[in-house]
Each structure stands twice: as C-alpha cells, then as structure tokens.
Chain A
Amino acid sequence: MISDATEVAARVDMVQIFIFGMMAFWFIACNAVLVYFMLRYRRKGPDDKVANIKGNHTLEIVWTVIPCILVLIIFYYGVVVWKDLRVPPKDEPVYEIGVTGQKWSWSFKYPNGATTGNELIVPQGTNIKLNMISSDVIHSFFIPEFRVKEDVIPSMYTYLWFNAKHAGEYNIFCTEYCGKDHSHMLGKVRVLDADNWENWEKTGLMLGEERLTPLENGEKLFADRGCKGCHSVDGAKLVGPTMLDAFGRSATFASGEAYTVDDNYIANSIKYPNNQIVAGYPANQMPSFDGQLSDSEISDIITYIKTIKSE
C-alpha cells in the first residue's frame, strides 16, 4: 500500500502486519459469533424457551486474561521496534541537519553551511538526524515512506532520524494544523547516491545540472521558501502584499510613514518583516528569514522581484 524506504520502516510494517492480523482475527471472531447468535437464536415465536444464564466466571477470567496477554505482547513488540525508529544507532556516525518549520514552508541547514527550502537533500545509506524547531506555531514533520514523524515546536528542539535505503524522492507533510495553508506546507526529501551527494555538497548542484542565473535562482527560492504562499505574483491579495509591480511602488506603512520599495526595502522585509508592516495587512504573519537565506540568495530574490511586472 505504501512503500518502505528505510530498514526501520520495514520493521514497523511487520509490527503493523502483526497488529492487523490480530485485529482481523478478533473482528471476525467477535462478529462471526455475534451474527451466528443473531441468526441461530432469532425469535421463532412468543413461547421461545430461553436459557436462564446470567454469566460464567470461568469465561470472564478467560476473556480478561487472554486480551491482557495479547496487548502486552503488542505493547512490547511496539516498544522494541519503536526504540530503533526513535533513537539513532549508537557508535555510528550521524549526519545532522537543522530544520526550521514556519508558516508554511520548511528550511534546512546543512553542516557545510548550505541551506535549502522545502527540499531536504540527503545522502543515501547514511544515518540522518534532523534537529527541528519552529519559528512560529507548532508544526509536525512527517515522511510517510520513512514512517517517521515528530512535532516541530517553538522554544523546544525535537528530533527524528532515518537512513534511506535508495536514492529517490519522498513526500514531506506537515501534520500539525498550522493555519490557512497547512495543507500546502509540503516538501520533498531527495535522497542522492554517493556521487551525486559528493557533488551537491561541494557545489550545491546535482550532477549534470547547470548553475542557475541569479534570476532563475531567485524565482526558485521564491517558490521553495514558501514566499509564494502569501505573496502573489499576479496581483491577488493573499496574506501579504502582492509582488506584482512591487518594485518601485510607493505607499505607506501601518504607522503612516511613507516608503518606496527598493533593494534595501526588500532585503529588510525578508530579514525583519515586522519592522515594515504595509497599511492594511496584519502584523506577525511572516517569519524572519534572517540567517536562513544567505545575502547572495536574498540578492537573487530581489533580482527576481524586480522582474515581476504587469505587461
């Protein structure tokens, strides 16, 4: 039904199959007996003889003790596999990546200083540990094919780990309700084979991939970092102001102060969004990208925003 992309996921599935088997057995057993009694003892007439049975102590003990034993087995099996799902193997190297959740995108920060948005890039066959924190409300980081999930909470680091078996792409979902575009807080895990990973770590490029121009990179960042979720490029009013014809626009802040959109204005808005709230828009909506986007990335985004013009 859903593939398992880590060794532990396959073991989680074994627990699942064991429990599903147990569920199927008890479901069929209970309801078969129920339906059998319903049919076998259905009323034939007003003078039906019925057995005057009020209970049976032996049965009560049997059907108390057996479920006790069975749930203890399930519990124990569940804990044993969960320990491996939860705790990265000791004495093995772990590659740690920082994750920040914010309305409504994911940012990833790698040990070499590289950052990506909504696309988590990891090497195949390596123990990856994600250290996660939220910069606004509670989110939850879920990769179905790895069977891992952990909430991403402001003020508190949480973690999860996995070791992907094969190169490939897998979905990331946010599974803790976080507001308007919760259902669009989607990401991808890209698992790379050794050669590709080595190249990406050095150059930030996939093998055979051309380096993007600042404009192309700006457009990609605008999409990947979730800017698009709140700032339209076609003039529609979303959570924040549209970027259509934004560059050079003059208007006023909520404070009444006048401003004109230039390079510095955009850079400031990306780093310290709440210092510049445009009149008619609510404050405390946009997370700060200070430290999450490099100066060169911000400059690429500015390059892109300059090109968003009507006609």
Chain B
Amino acid sequence: MAHEKTEYRPYLEPKGLYNWFWTVDHKRIGLMYLYSILIFFLLAGLCALGVRAELFYPGEQIVDHHGYNVLFTLHGAMMVFLFIVPGIPATLGNFLLPLMIGAKDVAFPRLNILSFWVYLLGAIVVLGSLVGPPGSSWLDTGWTFYTPYSIDSSTGVIPVTLGAFILGFASILTGMNFIVTIHRMRAPGMTWHRMPLFVWSLYSASLIQVLATPVIAITLLLLIMERVLGIGIFDAGMGGDPVLFENMFWFYSHPVVYIMILPAMGVVAEILPVFARKPIFGYRAIAYSSLAIALVSFFVWGHHLFVSGMSNWSRWIFSLLTFAVAIPTAIKVFNWIGTLYKGSVSFESPMLYACGFIFLFTIAGLTGLPLATLATDVHLHDTYFVVAHFHYTMQGGTVVALVGGLHFWWPKMYGRMFNEKMAQVGFWTLFIGFNATFIPQFIMGYQGMPRRYADYLGEFHDMHFLSSVGAMVNGLAYFIIFGNLIWAVFKGKRAAANPYGSLSLEWQTPSPPPLTNFDEIPTVTDWTYGYGDQQKA
C-alpha cells in the first residue's frame, strides 16, 4: 500500500495513561470521550432498568417512591448531560471531522483536550451529588429541575446543576472548535459543497451548542443563586415566577435535542451511500435542511409549555412554529430513502443500523405530529406518549445511529474488525427490545398514563409489564453489541484501510490512522459521494 511508509505509526501508540491524558490528538480525545460517555450510558441505562423493574407490577417492589424518583432523575440527568449531548459530536465528531475534511487536527487542539478535562470535571461534580445518604441527598427533581420543587428539595440539586453548568462549557468549547475547524481547516479543494454530510450536521449542531448552551448556564446559575442566596427569581413565595424557569430551561433544552439528533442524521447520510454504492440523493437538500432544523429549533420551545398557563395566543403560535420542524425532517427522510433507488445495496451491520434508524425515526417524527397539534397535545402532554416519542428520537434515533456509526468506523478507529454475525444479532436484539419497550408506552400514554409515576392504577398493568419485558431485552442488546466491539479491539481480525470501499477522505489513510492523519494534506477534486462516476471510469 502506497501509504504505508516505514515511519507509519498508528495514533494509538505510544500507549500509557499519561500519553492519553495529556494528548492533543483529536482521535485520542474522541476515544477518551467515547469511553467516558459509555460509562455513563451504562450507569444511566442501569437506572432505566431499575425503573422498568419497579414498574413490572403496581405497588412498591424494589424501591420506595423516593428511590424510584431518584432512579428516573439520575437516568435522565446522566443520559442527557453526560451521555447524549456529547454523544456523537465529541466522540465520532472529534475522531472524524479533521479526517473527513483532510486536516491534521482541529483548529484548536489544546482547547479540544481542555473540553475533555472540563467534561471530566463536570462529571465528577455531578457524581458528587451521590456522596451522602441516598434517602435524603440523591437528586429527585427530575432532570428538568422544575422550580419551585428544585428550590424546596433537600436533595443534591446544587452539585448536579453545577455539574451541568460546567459540562456546558465542554460543549461550547467543542462546538466553537468545530465551527472554526470547518471554516478554516478544509483541505485544498474541499469546498463547502464537497464536504461529507456528517460535517454539515456537525456544523449545524455546533451552532446550537455555541448559541443555546449559555442560556442553560445562566438558568442553572440563577437556580443555584436562588438556593444559596435566597433571591427570588423563580420561587413564587419570594415574588419570582416558576414558569420563567420553564421558559429559560426549554430555550436551551429544546434546541439541545437537535444537538443530539442532527449528528445522528449525519452518520446515516454517510453510511447509506457507501452500502448502496450510489451518490447520496439530494445532497444540498440534506445539507441545508440541517441548517434549517438548527435555525427553527430555537423557536419551538413553547410546545413544552402548551399546558403551563401560557397565553392562548402563544400556544397556537408555538404550535405553528413547531410544525415548521417537520418539513426539513421529512425532506431528509425522503432523500435517505431515495439514495437506495437503483443502487447496489448490501446489508453489513452498519447498513442495518442505518436502515433501522430510518424505520425508527419515521415513528419518532410522525408521533411528534399529535404532540405539536394543540387539540391532541393537551391530552398527551406529560403522559407516556411523550416518553415514548422522546425515546424513539433519542434511542431509536441518536443511539442507534451512534452504534451504527461505531460499527462503521470501528475498523478505522482500531484497525480491527468485529464479528459481523454477532453484530447482526446485536442489532436485531436491540431492534426488537426497543420496540417492545416503547410501543406499549405509546398505547398507555394515549390511555392517559402520566409519566414519572412510581406507582400506577391496575388498568395500566398489561402495558407496563410488556414494556418492562421489552426493556430487559433492550438492555441485554447493549451487552451483546458492546461485548462484540470490545472483543474486536483485542481479538478482531486486522482491518484493511478501507474495508467498505468508501470514497470519503478518512478511509484514504491507513487504519488506524497515523498521528497526523495523512502523510501529506490531500487535494480534493470531487465531492465525497461520487460512487456513480467511479463506476464509469
């Protein structure tokens, strides 16, 4: 192979904790982020299994009501702040962005490692809330910290909000770094319209990270000040307004779901053309719809307050604005499907995940319609219907894409192949377990089952039971999936530089890549998806 000169040293060397912790290499930082978020994915996932185990039957089984409230709070808080916000951008994004645009690293490598350290600090502060007796000090406010409950609660509101505040800076640093990198570090010939769509999605998500995160920082800081100094901003008892907190909280926390889902859509847009051996369908439509989603995402937070005493005018205006998100989302789905048309489609595990993503994401997107519609949302608001919708976007969408992306780029990251059979078993276990968990939740949500209930009426038992059984299968799937991937790192077959025949730049360098990514900075002469042109040659 032309690339393998004598001095080729994969970025994974030299080994040793010291060399990793002080690295400024975007690939190592990506992997360290990956290991960190997966630890929290495991912890938060176990909390979810605890929740579902308690809900097998009505009444108290495993934990008392406070214990249940702690479980769903920790599940949400860790999943959101420690797992899924850094989720794809800080892991796959960090690893791939410079490789995909033909750069040696991100624009600010030292800010990049600072982002990781800040993330670790934030994580430690969040975990600090667990020091102390579970009964009285473990957080029980829900990950949303609604006031005035979060002001009255005796539990660890301050460490968790302070942790989330710190984590926000990690997110801002990564976002800023990506934006500058994409503007300034593209290889010669890598024009905006030749960039891989994953890069477009990272760019859109980064804009939200930079613009929205300061608002949650302010909000959480005000909450902390209110608790510590007793100034009345949100507490009605002191003349504050609790609904103000909801507005400020969702002004960040709605756009943030697009930080989570946009890069996932980018991953899918990378996988589809490679396995269909066809150009992506509607490149510009997909690229611009990412930007459109990022823009619109800032104007829809009010749908979280449809029944929160907001004026009737605001309600219907926010309903209309919320529907605006549906359009760019639909455009993406149609273009993904169009990519397969007259292609040569093979179904290795990354492609299974990509197609599984489209299937699950159509459910996620379409179940958003009755939640955006005022007449129907009033009934569905804060029921399990919302819980299921949200998990279809976040797990069925983001996590499925993350796992698919990990399978796709694993050979690049470690130079090793996983066991394909096992990967397929993992996918189907996840697919079945996930749907079995959340389809019953749509049904009982429509029947009126409220969310965040430690106990429930007997009439909801069948659906809760099915959902809990599904959740156990859903949980098992991740042990199969990650067991296989971890096995591959140590025992997997050596991977070729480009096992899937992709045209994207990250595959045109050895697996795993050398520290500087490329022997020399490549010159780009065509877009990333020229699979049809390739065949004529």
Contact = CB atoms under 8 A, between A and B. Distances in A.
Interface of A: 1-2, 11-12, 15-16, 19-20, 22-23, 26-27, 30-31, 33-34, 37-38, 41-44, 48-56, 59-60, 63-64, 67-68, 71-72, 74-75, 77-82, 85-87, 136-138, 140, 142, 144-145, 147-151, 153-156, 158, 171, 173-184, 186, 282, 284
B383 A85 contact: no
Contacts of A74: 323, 369, 372-373
A177 B452 CA distance: 6
Given A30-B362, A50-B535, A64-B327, A1 B443 contact: yes
8 smallest CB-CB distances across A and B, nearest first, come from A52-B532, A144-B448, A155-B236, A48-B344, A78-B373, A51-B342, A82-B374, A183-B453
A114 B482 CA distance: 62
Contacts of A34: 337, 340, 355, 358-359
A41 B331 contact: no
B326 A71 contact: yes
A42 B279 contact: no
A54 B370 CA distance: 34
A32 B34 CA distance: 35
A145 B307 CA distance: 17
A53 B283 CA distance: 11
Given A26-B366, A177-B149, A82 B346 contact: no
Interface string B334-346: 1101101111111
A179 B151 CA distance: 12
A43 B373 contact: no
Contacts, number: 274
Contacts of A145: 448
B519 interface: no
A103 to B, nearest CB: 9
B241 interface: yes
Contacts of B381: 149, 175
A187 B404 CA distance: 46
A307 B153 CA distance: 34
9 contacts: A12-B375, A19-B376, A38-B355, A42-B347, A43-B277, A48-B277, A51-B532, A56-B281, A154-B236
Contacts of B346: 42-43
Contacts of A78: 319, 372-376
B interface, over-half SS: helix
B154 interface: yes
A27 B363 contact: yes
Contacts of B147: 138
Nearest to A68: B327
Contacts of A11: 375
B152 interface: yes
A1 B447 contact: yes
A41 B308 contact: no
B89 to A, nearest CB: 27
B243 interface: yes
Interface stretch (B40-48, B181-189, B454-462): B454-462
A273 to B, nearest CB: 14
Interface string B307-328: 1110010011001100100110
A85 B375 contact: yes
Contacts of A20: 370
Nearest to A178: B149
A173 B448 contact: yes
A4 B140 CA distance: 35
Contacts of A53: 278-279, 281, 341-342, 532
B446 A1 contact: yes
Contacts of B281: 53-56
Contacts of B341: 37, 41, 51, 53
A138 B141 CA distance: 12
Contact of B65 (A55, A72, A86, A181): A181
Nearest to B324: A71
Interface string B266-287: 0000000000111111111100
Given A53-B342, A55-B285, 9 more contacts: A30-B362, A31-B359, A53-B279, A60-B285, A63-B330, A147-B378, A148-B378, A149-B378, A179-B153
Most B C-beta atoms less than 10 A away, residue of A72, A77, A137, A178: A137
Contacts of A177: 69, 141-142, 146, 149, 451-452
Nearest to B284: A55
A15 B455 CA distance: 31
A162 to B, nearest CB: 11
A176 to B, nearest CB: 6
B242 interface: yes
Contacts of B531: 50
B242 A138 contact: yes
B149 A179 contact: yes
A151 B307 contact: yes
A74 B448 CA distance: 22
B447 A2 contact: yes
A55 B241 contact: no
B342 A71 contact: no
A229 B532 CA distance: 68
A171 B147 CA distance: 26
Contacts of B284: 55
Contacts of A26: 362, 366
A131 B74 CA distance: 35
A176 B382 contact: yes
A174 B446 CA distance: 16
Contacts of B342: 41, 50-51, 53
A137 B342 CA distance: 58
Contacts of B475: none
A78 B374 CA distance: 5
B326 A19 contact: no
Nearest to A157: B309
B319 A75 contact: yes
B448 A142 contact: yes
Nearest to B323: A71
A112 B372 CA distance: 40
Contacts of B379: 12, 16, 144, 147-149
Nearest to A9: B379
B457 A171 contact: yes
Interface in B243-281: 243, 276-281
Contacts of A153: 236, 242-243, 308-309
Contacts of B285: 55, 60
B450 interface: yes
A276 to B, nearest CB: 19
Given A75-B320, A137-B149, A51 B373 contact: no
B278 to A, nearest CB: 5
A41 B366 contact: no
B401 to A, nearest CB: 16
B383 A55 contact: no
A37 B373 contact: no
Contacts of B69: 177, 179-180, 182
A144 B277 CA distance: 50
A183 B146 contact: no
Contacts of B162: none
